Amino acid sequence: MPNAHHPTIQRQDHWIEHPQGRLFARRWQPRDAAQPAAAPIVLLHDSLGCTALWRDFPAQLCAASGRRVVAYDRLGFGRSDSRGERPALDFVADEAQSYFPALREQLGLERFIVFGHSVGGGMAVHCAADFGSACEALITESAQVFAEAQTLQGIRAAKALFAHPPQIERLQRYHGAKANWVLDAWTETWLHPQFAHWSLESVLPRVSCPVLAIHGAHDEYGSSRHPQLIAQLCGGESRCEILPDTRHVPHRERAERIVKLVSEFVASV
């Protein structure tokens, strides 16, 4: 179907079959693609996110870059099937190993560029490391490299905020009956004592593709140490962009800036 705000963009929904449950995915494609065979940009959402919460960003990125853009709801989120158990403590690595391959296979993503927001950035790092020969570039936005005290403090504050019914009702608009599970999957996993040892530092050197690490200078869930580490530790060419007057969701707060930054970056690779 055409996108109402971007008439030159076609949007198509897909269901990805997986042994644990179906995953919802959406693809945006330029009607007259300048680079029809160019690697698509795959978006990985944050801890409370889903495809719908990217809002107009995928269509904007598709129009500006001339590339296909793909987003999907992780199992338990958005329109994807629910899951009963809370994610294991290795869930960041597991997304790349257990679910991302099904998306690639069923949508025919032989080569790709991966863009991850927040914890999706950590998952994107694993995707780039695990499928290095197929990954043309990695973009992280507001990603965490380790369980920083500032990150955990922000999660505790959010957990207290979501104790108020109107906040859960907001989540229900996007996740339906899964909203409480989504919240617990975020807060209780990150605040688990054993998760304090989680880190991407051993994974980043395995990333050999070009990397763009984006971060807001006032991100409430992590200091600028995270994008700096990503840029320093990745094995390939890397670039760190710290945006002033920006918090945890740059693609919403500075949409035009992020679209331009990412489009120019992917064009350069």
| Phi (first) and psi of residue 193, to 5 degrees | -55, -35
Q: What is the pLDDT along the chain (269 residues), one digit of tens a residue?
A: 555 467 789 999 999 999 999 999 999 999 875 556 799 999 999 999 999 999 999 999 999 999 999 999 999 999 999 998 999 999 999 999 999 999 999 999 999 999 999 999 999 999 999 999 999 999 999 999 999 999 999 999 999 999 999 999 999 999 999 999 999 999 999 999 999 999 999 999 999 999 999 999 999 999 999 999 999 999 999 999 999 999 999 999 999 999 999 999 999 99
3-state SS track over the chain: CECCCCCCEEEEEEEECCCCCCEEEEEEEECCCCCCCCCCEEEECCCCCCHHHHCCHHHHHHHHHCCCEEEECCCCCCCCCCCCCCCCCCHHHHHHHHHHHHHHHHHCCCCEEEEEECHHHHHHHHHHHHCCCCEEEEEEECCCCECCHHHHHHHHHHHHHCCCHHHHHHHHHHHHHHHHHHHHHHHHHHCCHHHHHCECCCCHHHCCCCEEEEEECCCCCCCCHHHHHHHHHCCCCEEEEEECCCCCCHHHHCHHHHHHHHHHHHHHC
The two tokens of residue 212 are 């763009």
Q: Are 55 and 253 in contact (CB under 8 A)?
A: no
Domains assigned to the chain:
9-268 (3.40.50.1820)
Q: Are 43 and 37 in contact (CB under 8 A)?
A: no
* Residue type, position 92, single letter: V
